[in-house]
Structure 1
Amino acid sequence: MMAEQLIDITETAQDYLRDLLSKQDQAEIGVRIFVERPGTPHAECCMAYCPEGEQEESDVRYDYEGFHAWIEGKSVRYLEDAVIDYKKDSMGGQLTFRAPKSRVPDISEDATIEEKINYVLYAEINPNLAAHGGSVQLLELTDDNVAVLEFGGGCQGCSVVDVTLRDGVEKTLQERIPELAGVRDKTDHTVTDNAYYS
């Protein structure tokens, strides 16, 4: 599936990518662009080589002069208005990626459960935990819709983290996201260096 350009890849970045791709062994190779942890403050834009046939079904193809890019389907909305640039410097040069919407939580009606969890964590739960120097993030969502979380800062190793998890985090998430089956903590609580209560 081909579409109009979503990402502005500057001329210098296109030259750099064309050159990079021309040096690969495979004839039909492009790049795949995606966002790790989209909709969170930890969002990271990534690019990888993508030989023909390795793209996913939901990926969207964009053609540039001399090469093509596959955009991960679920990352598309987070990459609107993104700009990829290449700047030469004394070390050779660097590809830069600016995606202003990559960290903006999406809570539209068709948002995934992960996007809804991240929104509740960063909009409601983390501001409360920040009072104790703590935070929590989603590590993964299991196939049976259990959110696997990891606490950090003052929550890691805290003696009342079970209460925080059960009465605060889990209760809030399940009220806001009824399709969520449960919550599991995967934090290593033996590390108590920053614990709010030890």
Structure 2
Amino acid sequence: MTQYVNITSEAEGYLADLLEKQNVEGMAVRIFITQPGTKYAETCLAYCRPEEVNDKDEVQQMEKLKVYVEAMSIPYLDESVIDFAKDRMGGQLTIKAPNAKMPRVNADSPVEDRINYLLYTEINPGLAAHGGEVSLVELTQDGIAVLKFGGGCQGCSAVDMTLKDGVEASLTSKIPEVSGVRDVTDHTVTENAYFK
């Protein structure tokens, strides 16, 4: 049995009880991530009637219930856990998917994934202190990472220093396939700029 999501026995029991109350033959649970791999990613758990099953979904058969997992979401569900904790108010179901916004990468992952992972985990947390962010637009054939800044970095007078001394230095030292960076941000827009 393939396990895509770690569903604790408490959560399985809770979900099985919810499904039973629906009184629909063959009712299951479906797990998916909206906008996976982005900062807007949300992990979702929903009822799944038999007629709503997507033939591309993978099945995680549990002892008490059947779980359909959206195939596109699987790389982002690595290390995910669904748990249920009882309390005086009844209890709370929690879903933790630490890789929903960015899947874990390794040396064999595509270059774009490794760039995005580095931007998301190392560079953007520093830029967020100034309300800024940077994202990958594309990687050119000759290894240039084309980037776009947003938030407090757009129109910021220090963006050239951030680009060369921070972003480019980090990307070229940690990802050998990246030979340089190019900024395609419209920096004439300065209303949110951190430094004007």
TM-score range, shorter chain: 0.5 to 0.7
Residue identity in the other structure for 2:54 = Q
Match of 2:141 in 1: none
How do residues 81-160 of structure 1 correspond to structure 2 at under 5 angstroms? 81-102=79-100, 105-107=104-106, 109=108, 111=110, 113=112, 115-123=113-121, 125-126=123-124, 129=127, 133-136=130-133, 151-152=150-151, 154-155=152-153, 158=156
Distance across 1 between alignment mates of 2:98 and 2:69: 16
Q: How much has 1:48 moved relative to structure 2?
A: 2.0
Q: Which residue does 1:76 correspond to in 2?
A: 74
Letter aligned with residue 10 of structure 2: T
Contact 1:84 1:97 in 2 (8 A): yes
Of 7, 10, 14, which residue of structure 2 is paired with 1:9?
Answer: 7
Q: Deviations over 1:110-158 (max 9, x none)?
A: 5495x3452242256436645x7243265999xxxxx996723x22564
SS at match of 2:30: strand
Secondary structure of residue in 2 paired with 1:45:
strand
Instruction: Indicate the structure (1 or 2) with the bigger Cα radius of gyration.
Output: 2
Q: Which residue is 1:62 aligned to?
A: 60
Superposition TM-score, scaled by structure 2 size: 0.61
Q: Which moved more, 1:8-17 or 1:45-54?
A: 45-54
For structure 1, the residue ranges without an aligned partner over 5 or more in a row are 142-146
Aligned counterparts of 2:167 and 2:26: Cα–Cα separation in 1: 47
Would the aligned equivalents of 1:34 and 1:71 in 2 still touch at CA under 8 Å? Answer: yes
Contact 1:86 1:94 in 2 (8 A): yes
- Please give the TM-score of this superposition, normalised by the length of structure 1: 0.60
What's the C-alpha RMSD, in Å, of the aligned pairs?
4.5
Q: CA deviation at 1:62?
A: 0.6
**In structure 1, what is the Cα distance between the partners aligned to 2:133 and 2:55?**
30
Distance 2:26 2:43 in 1: 23
- How far the C-alpha of 1:86 sits from its partner, in A, is 0.8
Quick one: distance in 2 between partners of 1:73 and 1:140? 25
Displacement of 1:183 in angstroms is: 8.4
CA shift for structure 1 position 60: 1.4
Once the two structures are superposed, the pairs formed by residues 25-44 of structure 1 within 5 Å of their partners are 26-36=24-34, 38=36, 44=42
Q: Give the number of aligned pairs.
A: 181
- Within a 5 Å distance, the mapping from 1:150-189 to structure 2 comes to 151-152=150-151, 154-155=152-153, 158=156
Identity value in percent: 40
Q: 1: distance between equivalents of 2:148 and 2:49?
A: 34
* Structure 2: gaps spanning 5 or more residues: 139-145
